[in-house]
Chains A and B, each alone.
Chain A
Amino acid sequence: MLKYIIRRLLMLVPVLIGVSILTFSLIHLIPGDPARSMLGEKATEAQLELLRADLGLNDPYIVQYGRFLGDILQGDLGQSIQSKENIAYEIMHKLPATIELTIFAMIVAIIIGIVAGVIAAVKQYSWFDNISMTGALFGVSLPIFWLGLMMIWIFSVKFNVLPPSGRITAGTGLQTITNFYLLDSILTLDWQAFKDVFLHLLMPGVALGTIPMAIIARMTRSSMLEVMRQDYIRTADAKGLKKHLIVFQHALKNAFLPVLTVIGLQFGLLLGGAVLTETIFSWPGVGRYVYLAVLSRDYPIVQSTILIIAIIFVLINLVTDILYKYFDPRIRYD
């Protein structure tokens, strides 16, 4: 197992180098003069030259890339062109918000998706099966930005039961330790804040979780159906085992592997979906950060954020593969 993990980690090296080259190249793919594009038409030649010198745009590409890579390895992601903020600090500060949102979305998706998938499989062709699978089909076709706005309209505008934006109501006075607000409120036993944070998470979490929920439900159903046809399930049934024991102890355990892969893949993709969700719900995470940077042409922020998200994405996929191997020792990658 350890050997496998080490081999997989080594295989990551070329991918990560490729990722760094691609993100580095972004700034050079800008048609025309990157400095002009960042500072706008009104910038003077002196300002442009200053920025070029600042970003080292006058050096040969290979020197620039070497510096880019060296800086990253030292944890230096440069500074924003507009606000001069330290990008690494900003990302570290905003990442917990995004991770909290994606984990919440994923938990919602996994619980509802697996329960719906299992029931749909056990009661194949029942009304529940039909409704939940139709719902799942609808779920994968929904534009989440539309779903998010409709939720705001229903739950914030019409019924005024959920907050339309942000992570927490101003003045709640939550003492932050980890910057994962839900966790912080538990650690400080601040239940008022916990409720507030939870209510803020509900809409963006469900909106972001809809697509993975639908995909997990479909995968669970088809995987369960496949397993339920196996001989050992029939044996378990024949020896009089209770239905719920068969379903959960025998079937779900074996049906879980393909579901796990889907969960891992979707978890990574949520980081991309977070850009849309965070924009709609004014969620102060890295998704909104990169979006605002794109709008203001603050390319160093775009580069760094995308690089960080890609690294997280690759790591999540790696963990999924390792878990897969752990749960199914029959898998051999040679």
Chain B
Amino acid sequence: MPIQPNPVPDPEPVIIDQQQREIKPRRMWVDSLLRIIKSKTSFVGLCIILILIITAILAPVIAPYSPTDQSIIDRYQSPSGTHWLGTDELGRDIFSRIIYGTRISIQIGLITVGISMVIGVLLGGIAGYFGKWADQIIMRLIDILMAFPSILLAIALVAVLGPSLQNAMIAVGIVGIPQFARIVRSAVLSVKETEYIEAARAIGAKHKRIFLQHVLPNSLAPIIVQATLGIGTAILDAAGLSFLGLGAQPPTPEWGAMLSDGRSALQTAPWVVAFPGIAIFLVVLGFNLFGDGLRDALDPRLKE
């Protein structure tokens, strides 16, 4: 007896199966993720970043007090049950300010690295892809930016633009452009000569399409690594600017600015300085650990 054909043939599973076998890139990302989780240090980094994000989202729930509410009679209270990390010179709860500060840190990290990355990828991409005079001009500009110690250039730019958190982010963002431009340029240079790019060119693909569809995705790994490590550096540099009074202005609960506020009372109330610094350290450490792990995971050639 002939086998009854299925009345409603369902070709879906077969297609999905085939697609899964064809889409290799997905496998690479899954592999990388597994490698990151397996590595102890980068897992710690990932956890710190996740805690940071959750804290930022749940800040109003976690923080026992408002970050800006002043209470002069409670000024410079040492850490206790009511104020876990003590209070500052205006009687504000330091724990609550640090909790709300996570939002600012994330904002600083993403916006600054966003500025560096968008401009850096564009410049590096153009330099690497088109070469010749475009490369010459762009890379000489990058050389000039790199002729300054980064934090100093950032200070100079803020000095000109005026002290504010927004300008500090712009300054630190500009200072970070060269790293991205150089990484993208060298990645593009190595991808450009491969056969699949030649093939794309042969079938008449336009520059924009080749760059966005083929070159960029294949240069993505080092960009992601740099972005992760860059967030740590950006938070550190922006905190430095705020510490100097050139970034976030009062009463913003930015960690660098909080540290700066506590300087004058270092002798009597060291906790005002100590805890925001620890917060900066932990977050930067988190991004550094995760970035290192990402590099090992995405670029196995660099692995020991």
Contacts and interface: CB of A to CB of B under 8 A. Distances in A.
Contacts of A26: 156, 159-160
Given A141-B281, A276-B240, A31 B151 contact: no
Given A15-B147, A18-B147, A302-B159, A143 B256 contact: yes
A21 B145 CA distance: 11
A146 B270 CA distance: 11
Given A137-B289, A140-B288, A153 B273 contact: yes
A143 B239 contact: yes
B274 A150 contact: yes
Interface in B222-279: 232, 236, 239-240, 243-246, 256, 259, 263, 266-267, 270, 273-274, 276-277
Contacts of A15: 140, 143-144, 147
B280 A149 contact: no
B160 A290 contact: no
Nearest to B278: A146
Nearest to A280: B263
Given A18-B143, A269-B149, A276-B244, A142 B266 contact: no
Interface stretch (A41-49, A51-59, A174-182, A306-314): A306-314
B150 interface: yes
Interface in A1-54: 14-16, 18-19, 21-23, 26-27, 29-31
Given A143-B256, A294-B246, A22 B277 contact: no
B147 A143 contact: no
B304 interface: yes
A143 B281 contact: yes
Given A31-B161, A143-B280, A149 B240 contact: no
A279 interface: yes
Dominant SS among interface residues on chain B: helix
Contact of A145 (B152, B232, B243): B243
A333 B211 CA distance: 30
B266 A149 contact: yes
B20 to A, nearest CB: 38
Contacts of B285: 137-138, 141
Nearest to B276: A146
Contacts of A269: 149-150
B266 A152 contact: yes
A235 to B, nearest CB: 23
Given A15-B143, A140-B288, A150-B273, A272 B159 contact: no
A276 B270 CA distance: 19
A277 to B, nearest CB: 11
B141 interface: yes
A149 B263 contact: yes
A306 B162 CA distance: 17
A141 B152 contact: no
A275 B152 contact: yes
Contacts of A29: 157, 160-161
Given A152-B266, A290-B155, A294-B155, A18 B288 contact: no
Contacts of A157: 266-267, 270
A306 B152 contact: yes
A291 interface: yes
B148 interface: yes
Interface in A208-261: 222, 225
A324 to B, nearest CB: 17
A78 B244 CA distance: 26
Nearest to B141: A18
A149 B273 CA distance: 8
Residue among A16, A141, A142 facing the most chain B CB atoms (10 A cut-off): A141
A302 B158 CA distance: 11
B172 interface: no
B284 interface: yes
Given A149-B259, A157-B266, A275 B147 contact: no
Contacts of A22: 144
A143 B236 CA distance: 6
A272 B263 CA distance: 21
Given A146-B273, A276-B243, A141 B232 contact: yes
Given A31-B161, A143-B240, A268 B281 contact: no
A133 B41 CA distance: 12
Interface in B30-55: 41
Given A15-B144, A150-B274, A222 B281 contact: no
Given A137-B289, A146-B276, A147-B277, 5 more contacts: A19-B147, A22-B144, A143-B256, A149-B273, A290-B155
Interface of A: 14-16, 18-19, 21-23, 26-27, 29-31, 137-138, 140-143, 145-147, 149-150, 152-153, 157, 222, 225, 268-273, 275-276, 279, 290-291, 294-295, 297, 299, 302, 306, 309-310, 313-314
Interface of B: 41, 140-141, 143-144, 147-153, 155-162, 232, 236, 239-240, 243-246, 256, 259, 263, 266-267, 270, 273-274, 276-277, 280-281, 284-285, 288-289, 304
29 contacts: A18-B147, A27-B160, A29-B161, A137-B285, A138-B285, A141-B236, A141-B288, A143-B256, A145-B259, A146-B273, A146-B276, A149-B259, A149-B263, A149-B266, A150-B274, A150-B277, A153-B266, A153-B270, A268-B149, A270-B149, A273-B149, A291-B244, A295-B245, A297-B159, A302-B156, A309-B149, A310-B147, A310-B152, A313-B148
* In the A-B complex, the 5 residue pairs with the closest CB atoms: A272-B149, A146-B277, A18-B144, A141-B285, A272-B151
